[in-house]
Structure 1
């Protein structure tokens, strides 16, 4: 038993040493990224496929929603398209990460390479970071289905649309705030930077791409609050009228 434990400890130490010595393009330079393999696809190809799929999903959602209910307003259609796109990203892209995080650095699948490319903007995705893993798992399990459910409720004009929209949007906003905050804390307090400084990596991948899940959920929370308040006010007025009669 002692020999087994000693051998296991030796192997772990060896793997850690090899990971530290391994050359990879991410920050910090000493990040432990086991079995990393460079992407086989070029950046333009990866981004073209990703944004192309997003565009197809957007257009398909628009026509399906219009077919379900031709009276949907442009605002409702845009919100439906947002929730369907967001839900699919949560379920498939982030769900993929939550499932294969331990071996992601070696993956050559489309989604695996997409995550390795994004990791230039946040290397925590390749270093088994506990916060990122837990946050992405919660997002995939709860907010992915929640987004799709909200989109369906808007199309069907379900009375629970605004309460569910608020819950899902609050979860998204809370997650992205913690995502930014933990990265900023590590950089300011611990001197650890996870993002490369190039515009594509820091500003586009890390800042802009995640900002959508800051601005849009914040607006949807506000919208849900206003509509819920209106509904409650109407009920209160009706009850007051009944009492008078």
Structure 2
């Protein structure tokens, strides 16, 4: 009896901590212990942009100093993988580790996620798909982005195979991210994004679509490079077989002349 009363009290307490008075869609969704952001949107976006610029600028300086003879295209690939890896590992990793306390969070990353969640409230409700997808992205593709960046600087033979794996993983995750949200919208009648242009088209669509564009370009580049390498290998093997065949025929003809 005592355990039943204890469970009932806990349930009542948990229900009391669930808040529905918030700006997120659907408006009836319950967010645990939600608190509005303390910082303004311009300040949050400026700080995030500043952090990204700092990572990018630092990468550019290091690459230009240590690997100045690399082609510009390879340098740009390094810049992308370092920036992408940093966002995956630190920003998305933050969400993966703190998803249960996103509602009341007031630190920088917490407020940034609450701002982004206006385009997808699943980030404030520990949605299973979003949590699993972000965890894989943070702790698999994040570190591998740094590995690919280092492989580019050394022209490592595994650079392009690993680059293909990372890019396919990023694109696949993004497709599932869009697909699950759109499925719930069109078939279940559940909308996670506010309808304003900023939230749907800028936050939800554009800021994620970047991971379709750049990984797509790098994926195509790696596939072409590997196809070119295999084509050259096939031509080399064909030439080698042809030369060996001619040498064999020449020896055979020489023997036949002596016999005659």
TM-score bucket of the superposed structures, by smaller chain = over 0.9
Structure 2 alignment gaps of length 5 or more: 244-260
- Structure 2 CA distance, aligned partners of 1:40 and 1:240? 69
Q: What is the correspondence of 1:171-190 to structure 2 with a 5 Å cutoff?
A: 171-190=169-188
Residue 15 of structure 2 corresponds to 16
Shift of the alpha carbon at 1:205?
0.6
Residue 157 of structure 1 corresponds to 155
- SS of the residue 1:105 aligns to: coil
Residue 120 of structure 2 corresponds to 122
- Structure 1 CA distance, aligned partners of 2:219 and 2:4? 52
- Structure 2 CA distance, aligned partners of 1:185 and 1:234? 45
Residue 32 of structure 2 corresponds to 34
Residue 209 of structure 1 corresponds to 207
Residue 220 of structure 1 corresponds to 218
Match among 197, 200, 207 for residue 199 of structure 1: 197
Shift of the alpha carbon at 1:12?
2.4
- Structure 1 CA distance, aligned partners of 2:21 and 2:94? 25
Aligned length in residues: 243
Question: In structure 2, do the counterparts of structure 1 residues 79 and 5 end up closer, same or farther at CA, with 3 Å as the change threshold?
Answer: farther
Shift of the alpha carbon at 1:19?
1.9
- SS of the residue 1:37 aligns to: coil
Shift of the alpha carbon at 1:18?
5.1
| Cα offsets for 1:42-88 (capped at 9, x unmatched) | 11011001011111211111121122222212211111111100000
| Cα offsets for 1:21-51 (capped at 9, x unmatched) | x311100011120001111111101100101
Greater mean deviation of Cα atoms: 97-106 or 152-161 = 152-161
Question: In structure 2, do the counterparts of structure 1 residues 168 and 17 end up closer, same or farther at CA, with 3 Å as the change threshold?
Answer: same
What's the TM-score once normalised by structure 1's chain length? 0.95
Structure 1 alignment gaps of length 5 or more: none
Which structure is larger by alpha-carbon Rg, 1 or 2? 2
- Structure 2 CA distance, aligned partners of 1:165 and 1:8? 50
Residue 99 of structure 1 corresponds to 97
CA contact (8 A) 1:68 1:155 kept: no
Segments ≥4 residues shifted beyond 3 Å: none
- Structure 1 CA distance, aligned partners of 2:218 and 2:9? 52
- Structure 1 CA distance, aligned partners of 2:170 and 2:24? 26
- Structure 2 CA distance, aligned partners of 1:11 and 1:216? 48
- Structure 2 CA distance, aligned partners of 1:14 and 1:194? 26
- Structure 2 CA distance, aligned partners of 1:129 and 1:10? 25
- Structure 2 CA distance, aligned partners of 1:200 and 1:117? 11
